[in-house]
Structure formats: structure tokens, C-alpha cells
Amino acid sequence: ALMKFYDVDNDGNVSYEEFLSGLRDELTPRRKNMVMKAFRMMDKDGSGAIGLNDIAGIYDVSMNPDFLEGRKTREEILTDFLANFEGAKGNNDGKITEKEWFDYYSDLSMSVPSDEYFVRMMESTWQ
């Protein structure tokens, strides 16, 4: 019964992503609304995905230690930032899809006890 629950693609194996997906709780309506609001704000061009052009004017790399010390360019830091949302088996295409965005915040949500705190965290991160 567990195998059937976790093995979503029915290939006889439970991938890391399938396992995580099985553990994820559904976001509460309030959290889901905040996550969607932030995604729409970040998706500047309305393409349905967040890319370098979308975050270039929002994410300030100027205080990043790697940037300050010349180890990474602005674009490399922005690309690294986008990669955080790709998940364990991300396709590393340089874009955050709505699903990747929701998966990331669903995982994060599991460690945040209250809707109020989650909403404050989202608001302070994506103003």
C-alpha cells in the first residue's frame, strides 16, 4: 500500500521527489494565496515561469560575499538563486515554474508552525 501511494509514476521505484511529494501537506488556503501572490509578483512578464529577467531588478546581489570578492558574477548569483527552487531532481533550466515554486514553499511550510508566521515571512521576503 505504501509503494502504491509513493510510486506516483508506477515505475516500481520511489524517487526522492515522489517521496517528498507524499510527505508534503497541502498548503492552507491562506498560505496558498500568499505563495501564489508572490509568484505572480515575481513573474514580471506573465510567462508562467520566473527567470533571470524577472528577478534581475528585485534580487540585489551587491552585498553577496561571492559578488563582493569577485568570485561570482551577478548573473551567476542570480542563477544560483533560481537553482534553489529546482528541487532534488530539478531540470536546472534557469526558470522557476509555478509547480517548482509551490513545491519549494510547500516543503518550507512544513517547518513553519502558524499561518501568521508564514505570511509574515513571505511578506518580508517578497515585498
Please give the domain boundaries of the chain with CATH numbers for all domains. Answer: 27-125 (1.10.238.10)
| Cβ–Cβ under 8 Å, residues 27 and 35 | yes
**Tens digits of per-residue pLDDT, 77-86?**
988 888 888 7
Model confidence at 14: pLDDT above 90: no
Query: What value does the mean pLDDT take over residues 38-55?
Result: 90
Other C-beta atoms lying within 10 Å of the C-beta of residue 21? 16
**Tens digits of per-residue pLDDT, 95-118?**
899 989 998 898 888 889 899 999
Q: Which residues contact 78 (CB under 8 A, 6 or more apart)?
A: 52, 55, 56, 59, 61
Predicted TM-score (pTM) of the model is 0.72
Model confidence at 87: pLDDT above 80: no
Query: What value does the mean pLDDT take over residues 58-86?
Result: 88
Other C-beta atoms lying within 10 Å of the C-beta of residue 108? 14
> How far apart (Å, rounded) are the C-alpha atoms in residues 123 and 31?
11
